[in-house]
A and B are shown apart, each in its own frame.
Chain A
Amino acid sequence: MIQLETDHLTYLYPGSESPALHEVSIKINRGEFVAVTGANNSGKSTLCYAFAGVIPHLYNGHMKGRVLIDGQDNKDRTVSEIARHLGLVLQIPGSQMSGVRYTVFEEVAFGLENRGVPREQMLERVQTVLALFGLEEQATRSPFHLSGGQQQRLALATVLAVDPAIIVLDEPTTFLDPQGAKLVFEILRKLQQQGKTIIIAEQRLDLIATYADRVLAFDRAKLVLDGIPREVLTSAMLPDLKLKHTRYTQVAQVLQQKGLWPDKLTLPASLAETVDGLSLRRKTHDYLC
């Protein structure tokens, strides 16, 4: 069932001559885990902003086309109204902080206060979310005194606390180490299992390959690839988009050149796919011998 849709979306930032998004049409189903990838300035963040209604409501650029959430046009709703359905996590975690709350606990509660959630319910919800992100011990600290990784988790927690049906994340792992980035994706997978729709702008293709159901690749404002991770991330077009194949694809390419990868099998993008491919080759080899 389609939950989020862009219909021939084109957007130009104020003062810019070239569009940040050009004729982008996407349909995203409820419960999908979609990764949006591409080089810098390819349109990933702009797409995230368009989903959240930041574009066109907070920027006076030129927009054509529509963005629909559950069939309703974002233009007809305020950003606050859209936020009831969709939560946006910004790229710089410090910017996600309200600036008017003194502790991590209060920061997480901020969105709930704005939605008029009763205090008792708020306390319970904040505690649950802090536990989910391993931030209980930081509850009394100032949000501005957390490490980059902790701030990133807090940014996610603030969005998750209000329980939106769609979560849009604009490169949330930029300031995280590999372990921290993996943790974010693990949490997102759990949320997807709970029925949330996840849309993440991301350049770590290894993680996308493992966790996403679908990948959208952008190049200079245009959607150029749309498909399952294995299809998109092993595409020969990827280097043209200034993206590198995952290490698993690269290893399989070398194996393929040496005739060690099963001929009719698509190249892998993730570890699991690589193992599958190698197991298949082993079975074929054993059978022939």
Chain B
Amino acid sequence: MAPNKTTATLFIDKDSWLQRLHPLTKLSYILLTGVAAYGGPSSLLYICLLLFCNAVITASGGLLKDTAKALLRVILPLLLFMIPIHSFLFPGNRTVLLEFHGMIVYQEGLLFAISTLTKLTVVLIASFLFVFSTHPADLITALSHTCRSPSLAYLLGSPLLLLASMRERIETIQAAQRARGLDVDGNMFRRFLSLAPLLLPLVLGAIVEVEQRSIALEVRGFKSTSIKTSLRKLSDSALQRFCRWLMLAIAAVVLLLHGLG
């Protein structure tokens, strides 16, 4: 049963092969990408190759536009800070690339910044690909089936869902405070001042809710040791399972080689 648009989730509902992939296969892919980017060769060409592979996978899943948008929001501010800082101040700076009014841009620093940002981009693309193509409920289902501990699956899966109820509570508290004359809008300083009266009821309310929710989960058999079933159907196959193990094995080998130097 697909949720309506009011649900707080980044999932994009499309019928592509990426969406149909088992969440754990995608999680394994993120792990492999991360290890390959940070544990593999440091040449820019290799990193660009990883970037290209990720871009192709994202495009084939119809998520290129959404991923690019999200990526820009994260990478652009980092780019604006990292490029100048490393170009000017990187400790290994030796080769002058250009000089402008006494400000010297060094090749080593610039390359280091580009390499770091590219690695980060590779991992971010893989992560966005996962978030956009995986419904959190599928992730929770997959984790519940895999993890022996339902509590761990809950811990990993619940934060996104509880955001909606938290946001609702914030709005209620703010409305109540507005009704009693507290100004919660306006400039930064005013907003900052209104944080204290917001946080106390929010935190106390959250503590009470956590206690109540843990009771509700217990009485609804969440910690039951009997075999559980699932309403959501996750497509998995022998090929996917093989790919998962293969990706984990490759990641382990890369890490080992990286460790051996």
Per-residue A-contact encoding for B139-166, CB less than 8 Å = 1, 0 else:
0100000000000011001100110110
User: How many pairs of A and B residues are in contact by the CB < 8 Å rule?
Assistant: 143
The distance in angstroms between the C-alpha atoms of A115 and B165, with both chains bound, is 26
Contacts of A154 in B (CB 8 A): none
The contact of A102 among B7, B224, B226, B229, by CB within 8 Å, is B7
Contacts of A119 in B (CB 8 A): 229-231, 233
Question: Is B219 in contact with A106, judged by CB distance below 8 angstroms?
Answer: no
CB contact between B213 and one of A52, A83, A95, A145 (< 8 Å): that residue: A95
Within 8 A of A (CB), among B1-26: 1-4, 6-9
- Within residues 97 to 156 of chain B, which ones have a CB less than 8 A from any CB in chain A? 135-137, 140, 153-154
Q: A95-B212, A116-B226, A145-B164 are in contact. Are A54 and B232 (CB under 8 A)?
A: no
Q: Which of B197-249 contact A (CB under 8 A)?
A: 209, 212-233
A145 touches B222 (CB 8 A): no
Interchain CA distance A113-B154 in the complex, whole Å: 14
Contact B220 A100 (CB under 8 A): no
Question: Do B1 and A94 have beta carbons less than 8 Å apart?
Answer: no
B171 at interface (Cβ–Cβ under 8 A)? Answer: no
**A193 within 8 Å of B by Cβ?**
no
**Alpha-carbon distance A80/B153, docked complex (angstroms):** 18
Residues of A within 8 A of B158 (CB): 99-100
In the complex, chain B residues whose CB is within 8 Å of the CB of A159: 220
Interface size on B, residues (CB 8 A): 44
Chain B CB count within 10 A is highest, among A90, A113, A141, for A113
Indicate whether A250 reaches chain B with its CB closer than 8 angstroms: no
* Complex interface: chain B residues within 8 A of A109 (CB): 231
Known: A100-B157, A105-B1. A113 touches B230 (CB 8 A): yes
Report the contact-size class of chain A (Cβ under 8 Å from the partner).
35 or more
Q: Contacts A90-B212, A95-B216, A99-B213 given: A111-B221 contact, CB under 8 Å?
A: yes
Mask: chain A, 134-157; 1 = CB below 8 Å from B; 0 = not: 000001111011000000000000
What is the minimal beta-carbon distance from B30 to any residue of chain A, in angstroms? 21
Q: Is B168 an interface residue (CB 8 A)?
A: yes
- Residues of chain A lying within 8 A (CB to CB) of residue B1: 103, 105-106, 139-140
Q: Is the CB of B216 within 8 A of A102?
A: no
Contacts of B213 in A (CB 8 A): 95, 97-99
Scoring B9, B220, B229 by chain A CB atoms within 10 A of each residue's CB, the highest score goes to B220
**Complex CA distance for A119 and B228, rounded to whole angstroms:** 10
Q: Which of these, B4, B136, B161, B219, contacts A79 with CB under 8 Å?
A: B219
Which residues of the other chain, B, contact A140 by a CB distance below 8 angstroms?
A: 1-4
Note all chain B residues with C-beta closer than 8 A to A79.
218-219, 223
* Chain A: CB-nearest residue to B224: A80
Q: Tell me whether B216 and A98 are in contact (CB under 8 A).
A: yes
Residues from chain B with a CB closer than 8 A to the CB of A113 are 228-231
> Is A114 in contact with B220, judged by CB distance below 8 angstroms?
yes
Q: Which residues of A contact B154 (CB under 8 A)?
A: 99-100
Chain B residues whose C-beta falls within 8 Å of the C-beta of A87 in the assembled complex = 219
Say whether B221 contacts A80, CB under 8 Å: yes
Q: Which of A73-125 contact B (CB under 8 A)?
A: 78-80, 82-84, 87-88, 90, 92, 94-103, 105-106, 109-119, 122-123
Minimal Cβ-Cβ distance residue in B for A122: B231
A142–B164 touching, CB < 8 Å: yes
CA distance A57 to B220 in the complex (A): 14
Residue of A nearest to B163 (CB): A144
User: Which residues of A are at the interface with B, using a C-beta cutoff of 8 A?
Assistant: 49, 52-54, 57-58, 78-80, 82-84, 87-88, 90, 92, 94-103, 105-106, 109-119, 122-123, 126, 139-142, 144-145, 158-159, 162
29 chain-A/chain-B pairs, Cβ below 8 angstroms: A58-B215, A79-B223, A83-B218, A83-B219, A88-B215, A88-B219, A90-B216, A98-B213, A98-B217, A98-B220, A99-B154, A99-B161, A100-B137, A100-B158, A102-B135, A102-B161, A109-B231, A113-B228, A114-B220, A114-B221, A114-B222, A115-B224, A116-B226, A116-B227, A117-B229, A118-B229, A119-B230, A140-B1, A140-B2
